[in-house]
Structures are given as C-alpha cells and as structure tokens.
Amino acid sequence: MNASNPSAISQADHIPGIDYRFSDPALLEQALTHRSHGGRHYERLEFLGDSLLNLVASELLYHERRHAPEGDLSRMRSRLVRDVTLAEIARELQLGPYLRLGQGELRSGGFLRESILADVVEALIGAIYIDGGFEAARRVVIELIGQRLDALPDAEQLKDPKTRLQELLQAHGLELPIYSVLAESGADHAKRFLVQCAIGDLLPPVQAEAASRRKAEQAAARLAHQALVEKLAHAPQLPVTRADRDD
C-alpha cells in the first residue's frame, strides 16, 4: 500500500507494520473509511475491535501481572486501550495518509485527530477478526500493545488525580473535595470549563481549565493533590506515603 496514493487502498491487502494480509481487501478499505466519506465505514468494525482489544489486553495483564488486584488490572488495561495509546500506535504505523475521509474532515485535519486515529486502530482489529478469526486478531493485538504492557508504570501511578486525592484524604480522615464549575466559555465545538476544587479549610481552593468538565476536574485534583502532599509533608502527625511523594 502506498500512503501517497490513497486510491490504492481498494487494491491493498495489508498495512505496513501490521503482520497480517487480508483475504478480503474490502474489509481493510472499510476499516480505513470514516463516516464522512460515505458508503461503508468503520464504525461497526470499531465496535468489534474495541471488545477484542479489551479482551486480549485483559488476558495479557491477567497472566503478566499475576499478583495485581482487580482494581490495578483495570487501571493498567485502561492505560493500554485508551485513545491516547491507540493514536500513538496509529502514528507509528503512519495510518493518517491512508484514511478515507470526507472533504470537511480532510480540511479540518481529521487524519491527525486522536479520536479518529484511535477508532481506526480498533476498526482494523475488528476487520482482522472478521477476515481471519480470533487467533489472527489476538496475535495482532499482542504485537501492537505487547511492548507497551512491559513499559507500564506502577499501578499506583496509573490512578487518576481525583482518585489519588480522595484516597490521600481518606487515609488521613480528612474532608473530601468538592468540585464546582465556575465558568463555561467558547462555542459549542470549542468549550472551555473552569473548575474549582475545594477541601474545606485545609487548603485554599484551586482552579483549573480544560476542554471538558471531567478534564478540568482532573487537572484541579492534580493541583490540589500536589498542594496537599506538600502540606502533609510538614505535618509529622500526618505521614505521607512514598507513592504520594512521587506524584
């Protein structure tokens, strides 16, 4: 397949970097086709691929991290299958130029968009499953995420900031945080949320801004966690764990 000639997709039977050749090249073409392009697109294949990816990632973690509890396994799996990770894989495979997008998506840089790149990786996994069966899809998933599994950080470091803040507060019997949206700005397609995290009288409230309420809350929780760790480090009666110091 030649990335400089997207029309060649319909005749191609594989993606460079993925050790699999399609018996039905139409499945590969469909896996690379966004809804905006018209015709058969990748969303149904993405649905399949998402489930397969989660299953194989769960299997790998179950065998590789034999002593990890369920919560830690879930956090590690989330890191392996999140959009950020899948988009990184797509960029390494240089999938962007192969994508079949409508003119609007092309003009807006859809071939660079994280969500689309992640969707296409899942769609390719689904297409391989339909074309070659479970073992073929499983093998490709292992090839794509195996090295990333080996490089996963400690499970404690994978906890999101809100979880880490809440656990730190609970460990010391302190009041739990309250998150509130102070302001929303921007057009519907470019919203910004300003969120405050308050922990009673323990710390001054902290604020953070992001493109979604969830991301803003996580950013505010990260700032509050850092401030709380520093405060507790100077209070001998409230010891701080090593994992918290490493935040």
Place of tokens 């390719």: 124
- Cβ–Cβ under 8 Å, residues 80 and 145: yes
Distance separating alpha carbons of residues 116 and 43, to the nearest angstrom:
10
Distance separating alpha carbons of residues 125 and 49, to the nearest angstrom:
5
As annotated, the active-site residues are 50, 122
- Cβ–Cβ under 8 Å, residues 151 and 85: no
Residue 130 makes CB contacts below 8 A (sequence gap 6+) with 27, 45, 48
Q: What is the 3-state secondary structure (H, E, C) of 22-41?
A: CCCHHHHHHHCECHHHCCCC
Collapse the DSSP code of 187 into the 3-class scheme (helix H, G, I; strand E, B; otherwise coil) and give the result: coil
Q: Which amino acid is at 33?
A: T
- Cβ–Cβ under 8 Å, residues 176 and 166: yes
